[in-house]
Amino acid sequence: MFQLLKTDPATKARLGKLTTARGVVDTPVFMSVGTQASVKALDPRELREMGAQIILGNTYHLNLRPGLDIIRAAGGLHRFMNWERPILTDSGGFQVFSLASIRKVKAHGVEFRSHLDGSPLFIGPKESMEIQRVLGSDIAMAFDECPPHDAPAREQKLAVERTIRWARECRDQPRADAQQVFGIVQGGSNPALREECARALVALDFDGYAIGGVSVGEPELEMMKAVECTEPFLPAHKARYAMGLGTPAQMVELIARGVDMFDCVLPTRVARNGTAYTRRGAIGLKGAAFKTDFGPLEEGCDCFACQNFTRAYLRHLVRANEILGLRMLSVHNSHMYLRLMADVRQAIAMGTFGEFHRQFIANFTPSRKILAARLVAGSH
């Protein structure tokens, strides 16, 4: 259940509460990505301490490894990974896009060849919901087709038709106890298709709605357009989730456009490449400028990395390929994302988000490396 508490007077930013069986999630919220029952380089204690309210798991990957029998025997995904707070599971629909070379889309689902060993795997609406029921996630996503952003118009239309048909099947499947199900709007950057898909899914009365088909390689303006032409057709009393996004600036921009929920692999992915996010942009620590920089990654940051280590030391770790370096950058980046969402919620509550939005965007300068990385940021 979603409760809309307040809307910012200068933008479409929303303050809300999403109630699940395992706790209340304050929105806007960033969900750390735990593709294989683990947020890369971080443990559950660290996530709890930095304020993670909800994390994301991947249906396709967990079904392959460790497999449903093991997760069922463990008592569900929460017990298996020792995470007592809410979990959202994606449906496997993103893999229809990301694993295009090893899958075939059929009328009733998708035939995959396992990326691990090439074995056949079929996932359709029934299979996806069965996997998510066994996982026991608090929020399950309807199975959808996510086409490339530059797919021909006919392909986009067929994907929307399949997404609507599959969503209806997903809605009618059995669920885990108290499990919510969100529908996913597709349609590329075609306003008419986005409206058609959104209206059809809203008529099915899902617990919340996601905007899919974004962060799949499209220019940023098209990403914003896809959200802008979807949001007006989503009900105000249901949560809105932009899938696979994004950089800090993208999230702030989309919060201003009425989005409540986000997930992205970027915080830990770029950390493994030696990059840290700050409120002023991304910095690549491998650069010589940080060789004798004995300040923290970000002044005023209270994460463990910033409180205990310098840029010079972390640069040394990264260049020496020491695991501690990528762990500390992952800690900082994840903390930065979660702290940003907390500050956004406070600004909306105080009625000052319009100014917060303006100043944040004016001060944030992404690096070219990050601009390139975000093209595949949606990959889980």
Rounded Cα gap, residues 267 and 248, in angstroms: 10
Q: Tell me if 271 sits within 8 A of 330, measured CB to CB.
A: yes
* HSE-up (13 A, CA, CB side) for residue 79: 10
Amino acid in position 242: A
3-state secondary structure the chain: CEEEEEECCCCCCEEEEEEECCEEEEECEEEEECCCCCCCCCCHHHHHHCCCCCEEEEHHHHHHCCCHHHHHHHCCHHHHHCCCCCEEEECCHHHHHHCHHHEEEECCEEEEECCCCCCEEEECHHHHHHHHHHHCCCEEECCCCCCCCCCCHHHHHHHHHHHHHHHHHHHCCCCCCCCEEEEEECCCCCHHHHHHHHHHHHHCCCCEEEECCCCCCCCHHHHHHHHHCCHHHCCCCCEEEECCCCCHHHHHHHHCCCCCEEEECHHHHHHCCCEEEECCEEEECCCHHHCCCCCCCCCCCCCHHHHHCCHHHHHHHHHCCCHHHHHHHHHHHHHHHHHHHHHHHHHHHHCCHHHHHHHHHHHCECCHHHHHHHHHCCCC
For β-strands 109-113 and 103-106, DSSP reports them as: antiparallel
Q: Which of 144, 207, 260, 263 is catalytic?
A: 263
Q: Which two tokens stand for residue 199?
A: 């209206």
Q: Which of 90, 144, 207, 260 is catalytic?
A: 90
Q: State the virtual CA torsion across 40, 276, 316, 47 in degrees, nearest 10.
A: -40
Amino acid in position 271: A
Please indicate whether residue 90 is annotated as part of the active site: yes
Please indicate whether residue 26 is annotated as part of the active site: no
* Catalytic annotation, residues: 90, 263
